[in-house]
Structures are given as C-alpha cells and as structure tokens.
C-alpha cells in the first residue's frame, strides 16, 4: 500500500481538531481500498473441512516468531484461514516492515490488508499504517474494506491517529465453491451498544455482498462486557472475583452484538477460555474473552484456544525465531482456532 506523504499526513492530522475523522479519511485513498498479496497455488483435500484461526498480533512486533507459532503450535494446526488484527505496515515500533506480507510469505498464503489507522506519531520515514488482514490458502477473488460506525475518535487518544475501526471482506475460491470471509476489529473504547452498531453494519454488508454464500466472520470483537474507557469498572472486575465471574457468565446478555448475530443467522464458537490479558496499572492482569469466530452456512466441528505465553510452549524448534524469542508473550491475545465443516 502506497505511503501517505509525510507533510500531507501532518497537515491532515492538524485538521482533526476541527473536522471529523470521516471528513479527513475521505481525502486519503488508502482508506478506501485493500492491498492484495498473492500466494502459491493450493489444492485442498476433499474432506470438506476448513480450519480457521483468529489472531490479534498486537502490531505484529514479532511477526516471524508469530509465523513459527502458527506453523508449529499443535493447537493451531492445520490452518487454512486466518483473521488477523493489529498488523503494522511501516512502523518502527514493529521493525518497519509489512507484517501482513511477512506472515503471508512465511505461511505460504494469499492475503488482503485493510487500513484501519494512520499513526500520526510515526516519523517522516515511516508509513505508520495499522490495520486488519485476511490470510487464506485459497485465492482471494474479491475484497473490499468497510468503514464501521465511529464509536470513539482516536485523534483525542494518547495514540493520535487518523482513521477508525474497519472490517475486511473477501470472497475465497475453494475450487468447487466460494465462501465469504470477514476480518473485523470492533471498538474497545465504547460500550456494548456501540459494538452492536458496528457488528450490525458488518452483518448488513455481509448479507449484501455474500448473498447465498457460507460466511465466516472472525476477529477481536472487544467483548469486554463494559465500556473500555470505564476505569472504575475495570478496577471493580479486577478486585471482585464474583462480579468478574458474573460478567463472563452473562457475556451474551451484556454484549448485544451476539443477539444481532443470532438474528442474522450466525452462531459462534463456545467461550472455552480467556483470549486477552489486559495489563492493569498495578501490575495485575485482567483476563477477558474478546476473540471470536462467527459462522453461517457451515457447521462447527471443534474449537480451542492456543496460548501465546512463552511459558506454555513445548514445541519450539532450534533455529527458529520462536526459539530465539525472549519475551513473555508474542501478543496480549491468544489464538482462537476452529474446525468447520463446509
């Protein structure tokens, strides 16, 4: 994806104090199209199974190690389709590379990337792009990016940004049929009503562009069960185990996006384990269920969660980036994996 000229980026960013994100984004063509990365030919086995994974890579700082993880972790294998969130392109903080391309080339997959944010803090030599992607064993024959209703303006956050939440839509050619796939990242700095509005936009668009096709939607839906800006609620959940357990138990009632998905004919994988480790100011961690696979027109055969914490690995191999990894976790999210009958 072509870099946005630095002086233009800065000039547009300054206007966000008086103008809306939508107005500024309308002047940046990169927000309206997707970037395709072609992979090798793939011949699927005739078992009619599709193996999908959701992975929020937390900027893709350790892209090579993440690729090793997806290749080697028994709980992530096999994998045909990856719904990836928080991927950098041209950011020094993650090594300056295109993390979607690194993953696609390492995994031997096709990919499509949609721009979510332009980081205004990025330097003149950086692209400062950040977004969502789909990676697929099968050819991606069509794609587009859908801008979601704004539930929070990221210009006024400590991470000053141009942009907003988005979903990447794609049609995949499985040889004898097509399926629709959507990689989505919903807003954490809003409440359940805000996330429902964003999910309804995704569901409505999927009904239009994937009419008659099986559809799989995956990503970080940020189903906190609370407004991510509510520090008092975060502290309460961390301090009171009973209230914390009730929020998890009442997930689908507290997050109305699930009801919207059900009405539209979608089901989702069981909430079997926590998928996000949210760091707290006092050094503790609040574990949450944020990452999901929703599906329509296919059947779920199995699902599980793979930990990205280094202490949980027993499968690293000599010479790999994953073996050399010295941090505590590849990402603050775990990987959600599902086996689907198509």
3-state secondary structure the chain: CCCCCHHHHHHHHHHCCCCCHHHHHCCCHHHHCEEEECCCCCCCCCCCEEEEEEEEEEECCCHHHHHHHHHHCHHHCCCCEEEEEEEEECCHHHCCCEHHHHHHHHHCCEEEEEEEEEECCCCCCCCCEEEEEEEECCCEEEEEEEECCCCCCHHHCCCCEEECCEEEEEEEECCCCEEEEEEEECCCCCCHHHHHHHHHHHHHHHHHHCCCCCEEEEEECCCCCCCCCCHHHHHHHHHCHHHHHHHHHCHHHHCCHHHHHHHCCCEECCCCCCCEEEECCCCCEEEECCEEEEEECCEEEEEEEECCEHHHCCCCCCCCHHHHCCCCECCCECEEEEEEEC
Q: What is the pTM of this model?
A: 0.97
Q: Give the tens place of pLDDT for each residue, 151-164.
A: 999 999 888 999 99
Q: Give the tens place of pLDDT for each residue, 24-52.
A: 999 999 999 999 999 998 766 657 899 99
Tell me the average confidence (pLDDT) per consecutive run of 10 residues in the chain, 342 residues long.
95 95 97 96 76 97 97 96 98 94 98 98 95 98 98 90 98 94 98 98 99 98 96 96 95 96 97 90 95 98 97 95 97 98 94
* Residue 311: per-residue pLDDT: 96
Domain boundaries, the chain: 6-341
* 6-341: CATH, from 3.40.50.1580, 3.20.20.10, 3.30.450.20, 3.60.10.10: 3.60.10.10
* Residue 336: per-residue pLDDT: 98
* Residue 45: per-residue pLDDT: 60
């Amino acid at each position: 994806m072509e870099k946005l000229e630095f002086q233009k980026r800065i000039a547009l960013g300054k206007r966000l104090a008086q103008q809306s994100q939508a107005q500024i984004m309308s002047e940046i063509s990169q927000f309206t199209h997707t970037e395709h990365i072609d992979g090798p030919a793939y011949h699927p086995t005739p078992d009619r199974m599709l193996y999908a994974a959701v992975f929020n890579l937390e900027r893709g700082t350790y892209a090579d190690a993440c690729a090793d993880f997806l290749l080697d972790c028994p709980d992530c294998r096999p994998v045909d389709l990856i719904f990836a969130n928080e991927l950098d392109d041209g950011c020094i903080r993650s090594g300056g590379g295109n993390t979607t391309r690194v993953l696609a080339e390492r995994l031997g997959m096709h990919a499509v990337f949609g721009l979510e944010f332009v980081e205004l803090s990025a330097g003149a030599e950086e692209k400062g792009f950040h977004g969502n992607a789909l990676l697929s064993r099968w050819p991606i024959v069509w794609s587009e990016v859908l801008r979601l209703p704004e539930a929070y303006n990221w210009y006024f956050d400590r991470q000053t940004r141009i942009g907003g939440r988005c979903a990447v839509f794609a049609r995949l050619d499985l040889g004898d049929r097509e399926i629709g796939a959507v990689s989505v990242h919903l807003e954490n700095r809003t409440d359940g009503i805000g996330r429902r509005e964003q999910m309804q936009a995704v569901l409505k668009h999927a009904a239009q562009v994937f009419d008659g096709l099986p559809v799989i939607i995956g990503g970080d839906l940020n189903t906190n069960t609370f407004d991510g800006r509510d520090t008092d609620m975060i502290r309460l959940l961390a301090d009171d185990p009973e209230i914390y357990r009730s929020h998890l138990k009442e997930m689908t009632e507290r997050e109305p996006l699930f009801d919207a998905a059900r009405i539209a004919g979608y089901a989702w994988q069981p909430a079997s384990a926590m998928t996000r480790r949210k760091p707290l100011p006092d050094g503790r961690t609040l574990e949450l269920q944020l990452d999901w696979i929703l599906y329509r027109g296919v059947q779920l055969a199995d699902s599980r969660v793979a930990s990205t914490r280094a202490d949980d690995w027993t499968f690293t191999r000599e010479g790999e980036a994953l073996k050399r990894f010295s941090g505590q976790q590849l990402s603050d999210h775990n990987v959600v994996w599902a086996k689907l009958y198509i």
